Amino acid sequence: MEYTRLGSTGLEVSRLCLGCMNFGSGQSWMLDDEEASVEIIDRALELGINFLDTANVYSNGESEEIVGRAIAEYDRDELVIATKVFGRMGEGPNKQGLSRKHVIDQCEASLERLGLDYLDLYQIHRFDDATPTEETLSALDHLVDEGLVRYVGASTMPAWKFAQLLYTADVENYERFVSMQPEYNAVDRHEEANVLPLCADEGVGVIPWSPLAGGFLTGKYERDADPEEGRAALDEYTRKRFTEANWEVLAAIEAVAEEVDATPAQVSLAWLLHKDVVDAPIVGPKSIDHLEENVGAIDVSLTDEQIERIEAPKTPRWPAAGKD
């Protein structure tokens, strides 16, 4: 395993992050088997992954509980445990968003479910238009001051909103966001024209989610056939990736995979790992075989020409690009 520093911090994280959204029973495509989930976590740690990402809303806290039980016997100092806050956690008022009350209450609840004294990385899952920016930032700052959180991060929002958060934190001397979780992979490259340049300029670490585009980039779906299994069979968002340009990207990835003696999934992850702005793609394996395949991407080297071929079918642009 290779390691890097998260953004501009001194925090050492593995080049792959283990995503834990699949651990639980909230959706039919999840791994509804705690023993199997723990085995994947154990194997990930054996392979050198020290960075685990979950969220309070994943199976309504069940994912955090599984992760907590799995890591209980490991050296806490070597682990980087990340979770997120924003989504609804129960019925009634004050159960969602980024108010001071919800942020602090949910941090304490996440710590209890994880069985931890502190979180390495606490991330806002979305931007909350209903809560003043200063209120959210002061709540996160409080958690850091109390020793309950080491670093704060963010996920999935327009660049202008993230810039607002960074600017306010700097001006008001609140704890600064050190990381961003964007959707980013070889077919979903919109963030190249949005938040990624901001992250690069501000020294913010990037930990992309959906690095395999919901399984599309593994090559398991057929171009002219409706998906009968896998996430695309149940998830319209994944099926929307079945576009002509995306199939061309996948064809290029499959050709490169043959050239470098790797799988399409490994080439797709290697493409991300070759991006200077990317620290650690978040992989979500549902089996040890898939996990080990993902980790094999660390050893895949791509040439500039191969990267260009993968990127040729799509050119991310600002929405107004090309208009008169």
Distance, in Å, from the CA atom of 14 to the CA atom of 4, rounded to the nearest integer, reads: 6
pLDDT of residue 317: 73
Structure confidence at residue 240 as a pLDDT band (50, 70, 90) = confident
Q: Which residue ranges make up each domain of the chain?
A: 3-212+278-300
- pLDDT the model gives residue 315: 83
Q: Which of 3, 58, 118, 221 is catalytic?
A: 58
Of the pLDDT bands very low, low, confident and very high (cuts 50, 70, 90), residue 234 is low
Q: Where are the beta strands (DSSP E) in the chain?
A: 3-5, 12-14, 17-19, 51-53, 80-85, 119-124, 149-155, 177-181, 205-206, 282-283
Alpha carbons 201 and 214: distance in angstroms, whole number: 29
3-class secondary-structure state, position 7: coil
Task: Based on the residue annotation, tell me whether 58 is a catalytic residue of this protein.
Answer: yes
Q: Which pLDDT tens digit goes with each residue over 50-84?
A: 999 999 999 999 999 999 999 999 999 999 999 99
Mean pLDDT (the chain) is 93
CB 230 within 8 A of CB 224: no
Q: What percent of the chain has pLDDT over 90?
A: 85
Predicted TM-score of the model (pTM): 0.92
For the domain spanning 3-212+278-300, the CATH number is 3.20.20.100
52 token code pair: 């685990």
Average confidence (pLDDT) over 13-30: 90
**How far is it, in rounded angstroms, from Cα 237 to Cα 240?**
5
C-alpha of 58 from chain center? 13
Question: Is residue 324 over pLDDT 60?
Answer: no
Is the confidence at residue 29, as pLDDT, over 80? no
Mean pLDDT within 11-20:
98
Task: Give pLDDT, residue 323.
Answer: 43
Q: How confident is the model at residue 260 (pLDDT cuts 50, 70, 90)?
A: very high
CA gap 318, 36 in Å, rounded: 43
Q: pLDDT at position 235, please?
A: 65
